[in-house]
Amino acid sequence: MAKIKFNFEDEKIPAKTIEVEAGYSILEAAEDNGVHLNHNCGGVCACSTCHIYVEKGDDTLEEISDKEEDFIDRAINPRLESRLGCQCIILEEDAELEVTIPDQSLIIGHEH
């Protein structure tokens, strides 16, 4: 099983580590395991609300597409390690990932 450690810029939310099978996206893994990650477009790479920072394990994810790069440019505070959770498909069963979810309070449609 792949391991994902979720860290949060919002310090009120504690880090959480989960395990999922390869083939899941980071967004799907978050949703299935009670980790809040906005996804206003429904996870189809049509917005930037599931923006995350992949701190570790990016080599075990599907490569970034031109479309994803275009939407990352629209995200709040994009960095070199920015990805969209809906596009981060885990390719390896033994992947060890660490991601940071940016503060989502400024996102229109924020649920919390």
Q: Is residue 86 part of a domain?
A: yes
73-90 per-position pLDDT tens digit: 999 999 999 999 999 999
Q: What is the pLDDT of residue 105?
A: 81
Q: Give me the domain span that covers residue 90.
A: 2-101
Q: Is residue 96 part of a domain?
A: yes
Name every residue whose Cβ is closer than 8 Å to that of residue 66 and which is 6 or more positions away in sequence: none
Q: Are strands 96-101 and 82-84 parallel, antiparallel or unpaired?
A: unpaired
* Cα–Cα distance, 100 to 51 (Å, whole number): 9
Please state the domain count of the chain.
Answer: 1
* Residue in 41, 42, 14 with CA at minimum distance from that of residue 101: 14
Q: Is the pTM of this model over 0.85?
A: yes
Q: What is the pLDDT of residue 52?
A: 98
* Cα–Cα distance, 103 to 9 (Å, whole number): 5
Q: Is residue 76 part of a domain?
A: yes
- The CATH number assigned to the domain holding 79 equals 3.10.20.30
Q: Is residue 78 part of a domain?
A: yes
